[in-house]
Amino acid sequence: MPFTANRQFKKSPRLLARAEGMFYWTADGRQLLDGTAGLWCVNAGHCRPKIVEAVRRQVGEMDFAPTFQMGHPIAFEFAARVAGVAPPGFSRVFFTNSGSESVDTALKIALAYHRAHGEAGRYRLIGRERGYHGVNFGGMAVGGIAANKKMFGPGVAGVDHIRHTHDLSRNSFSRGQPAHGAEFADELERLCALHDASSIAAVIVEPLAGSAGVLVPPAGYLERLREICSKHGILLIFDEVITGFGRLGKPFGSQRFGVMPDLFTSAKGLTNGTVPMGAVFIKDSIYEAFMQGPAGIELFHGYTYSGHPVACAAGIGTLDTYAEEGLLTRAASLEKHWEDAAHALKGTRHVIDIRNCGLIAGIELEPRRGAPGARGYEAFVKAFENGVLIRVTGDTIALSPPLIIEKPQIDRIFDTVRSVVTATP
């Protein structure tokens, strides 16, 4: 099973059997309030009628069609629709099937772009400690989580990392962007000096790091990264697999933080998690560079299921639902209530930090001596038994509910977290 302790699970399985709106139901019929939008995906809530109907219709009309040297209208229709919610200048989209594939696709486009415009010497890829960019070889290499790498050999050559931005000593209990840490971006200058900037193709970061424990970018940090990348001709890739599609109160994280990358990835909320799909958004000037090369295939890359018609139908149903209900900006109107409810947990037993931005919160617990992660896992199990689905990475509880959540449901999530954390030894 993915990222699961198989033997532990077998002893006491947790099985989800049905979902609707803000809720799951377990196989034995218990209702669970979804505090995690599934796995950061279901931004419009579960089993929304427009999406369900679009998928039903498409699967009966055309189940699959190849996209190598041919196309189908719904893939172009969805590409145009989704580019319509992206920041200006990103009118080109490459479809994948997951966040991991989006990341590897973006890295390959960055490398190929430099080669296409005459800078083939740029081959290095820079990630960040504690970054999560999926589990394929490219994403694993630029990612910064040791447990995800240590079993799998030396990986991709020519990769380096800047330091993470977590700084409990200066920033604990920050509301929104922490005040300290813009200078951590200067590490990129150090790597430019070390490797020579002309060898660096791209830097990839999550605008807000989700999977490694909700690390909100310090004020000024992303701006500084952008500045250094521009100065040295390095492409800046934002991995927006979590931050995309309204999670931070704007359609994308780049818009929330006011910093534009050159490429950005997405998945999850792209189809509301209904059908697996990812997408890489590409700045028009990068796309145009490929179109200046020799005749023939411009990018030797793609997946059998790129632009899958059923996924595109789900995506169109999703965008319709987001638009009709204002979900790409709804988090902004709930953020104050969410933030206050999260920070009301300050002073709760074991809680050493609370972080928030948009409809995301991280609640960091003090690790139990000699058993890191145990306290977090126990809180997760207790919350599950108490009817609320939360997520933990190590000892940090990460909350990211569907964007249709109502205020009393927000209060219920944090009340449950308070009681289960307090009850955890």
Binding site for ligand PLP (CB under 6 A): 98-100, 103, 132-134, 206, 210-211, 239, 241-242, 267
Judged by CB, which is closer to ligand PLP: 42, or 351? 42
Q: How far is the CB of 244 from ligand PLP (least distance, A)?
A: 9
Q: How far is the CB of 103 from ligand PLP (least distance, A)?
A: 5
Judged by CB, which is closer to ligand PLP: 116, or 129? 129
Judged by CB, which is closer to ligand PLP: 107, or 241? 241
For ligand PLP, the nearest residue by Cβ is 99
Q: How far is the CB of 355 from ligand PLP (least distance, A)?
A: 16
CA distance 135 to 141: 9
Q: How far is the CB of 207 from ligand PLP (least distance, A)?
A: 9
Q: How far is the CB of 39 from ligand PLP (least distance, A)?
A: 7
Q: How far is the CB of 225 from ligand PLP (least distance, A)?
A: 16
Judged by CB, which is closer to ligand PLP: 44, or 103? 103
Judged by CB, which is closer to ligand PLP: 277, or 351? 277
Q: How far is the CB of 136 from ligand PLP (least distance, A)?
A: 8
Judged by CB, which is closer to ligand PLP: 271, or 321? 271
Q: How far is the CB of 267 from ligand PLP (least distance, A)?
A: 5
Judged by CB, which is closer to ligand PLP: 45, or 99? 99
Judged by CB, which is closer to ligand PLP: 102, or 416? 102
